[in-house]
Structures are given as structure tokens and as C-alpha cells.
Amino acid sequence: MQIEAVKGDITLLHVDAIVNAANQALAGGGGVDGAIHRAAGAAELHKACAKIGHCDPGDAVATPGFKLSAKWIIHTVGPVWHGGGHNEAAILASCYRKSIEVADRLQARVVAFPAISTGVYGFPQDQAAHIAVDTLRSIDSSTVERSILVAFDDSTFSLYNALLSS
């Protein structure tokens, strides 16, 4: 699987699936979660998420993309940072693995990921970037040909590029 980094708005990408850094209730929120809900059509996406009901940290579920260019939204719940001693790294790695598993089931060939858990959940950007790149590199996907790590800011974009070039 090819992995690349881009800087921009994940909701504008023309990919098969975008990953949403969701909350456990799949209720929409701030940051990338709120942006995805607004861009997809909040009412339709809320209904679809309500039917699913819940997603545990480290797991992933899918809904249609509704008004997005992406056919699918893969919702994953990252860990809240509590200093690193509460299995946060393993849960974050699971978010990437489970999202690719869901993408495989959906037959998605190109998947875009935000920087999961680095916003209000407080996961340190450098550690999260390492986990994202290392985990995606370790996955042997049957369907996904390309994963795009989408950075909203320059520092995350630089981290991804440095890791991907090493």
C-alpha cells in the first residue's frame, strides 16, 4: 500500500473513503468530526450514525459519505491522551488497522486519514504521526492501494513527510 501526506481539508478530497476521528457516541463534535458532519450533511449523517449507535476506542464503523466526494466515511474512535500509560498507543494503532479492515470490506482503494486523537483528545503529534506511519506500513491490505495522511497544519504535514521519507 502506498502512503502519502497532503496538507488540506479532508472533506474536499476525491477518495473512496475518508476516516473520521469520531467520538464513542458517533454524535458529531468539533474539529475534523464536526467538519465531516457539516460537509456530508449533518442530518443524514446523524441518522446513519444513530442507527449504529456506538463505537469503542480503537474500533471502526462505516456510513455512506452522503454529500462528500468520498463514497464512505469510516468512523474510528481514538484514545484520549492520559500521559501514555493507559494503552493509548495500542488503541491509536488499532484505529488505523480497523479502519483499513473496514475499507477492505467496502472495497475502497484510496483512504484518507486525519491526524487521529491529536486535537481535543490531546495525543502528542509526533507520537501520533509515528504510530500512523508505522501502523499503515505494517498493514497488508487486500484492497486499499493508497492511504493519504491528511494534515491540517504545517507541523503535522512536516512530521508526516519526514517519517515517510525515512
- Residue 94: what pLDDT? 98
Per-residue pLDDT band for 142 (boundaries 50, 70, 90) equals confident
Kindly give, in sequence order, each residue whose CB lies less than 8 Å from that of residue 165, ignoring residues fewer than 6 positions away: none
The residues assigned a catalytic role are 33
Q: Tell me 4's DSSP state.
A: E
String of DSSP letters for 92-153 = HHHHHHHHHHHHHHHT-SEEEE--TTSSTT---HHHHHHHHHHHHHH---SS--EEEEEESS
Distance (Å, whole) CA 58 – CA 94? 5
Sign for the CA dihedral angle at 161, 76, 32, 148 comes to: positive
Torsion region of 145: left, alpha or beta (phi above 0 gives left; psi -120 to 50 gives alpha): alpha
Instruction: Render pLDDT for 69-115 as a digit per residue (tens, 0 to 9).
Output: 999 999 999 999 999 999 999 999 999 999 999 999 999 999 999 99
Return the C-alpha cell found at 79: 484514545
Q: Looking at the domain that runs over 2-165, which CATH code has it been given?
A: 3.40.220.10
Mean pLDDT of 37-47: 96
Neighbouring C-beta atoms of residue 97, cutoff 10 Å: 16
Each domain of the chain, given as residue ranges in start order, spans 2-165
Q: Which residue has the cell 480503537?
A: 58
- For residue 163, CA distances in Å to 4, 47, 89, 125 come to 10, 38, 17, 12
Q: Please say if the pLDDT value at position 30 is more than 90.
A: no
Neighbouring C-beta atoms of residue 53, cutoff 10 Å: 10
Instruction: Render pLDDT for 57-82 as a digit per residue (tens, 0 to 9).
Output: 999 999 999 999 999 999 999 999 99
Neighbouring C-beta atoms of residue 94, cutoff 10 Å: 23
- Residue 28: what pLDDT? 87
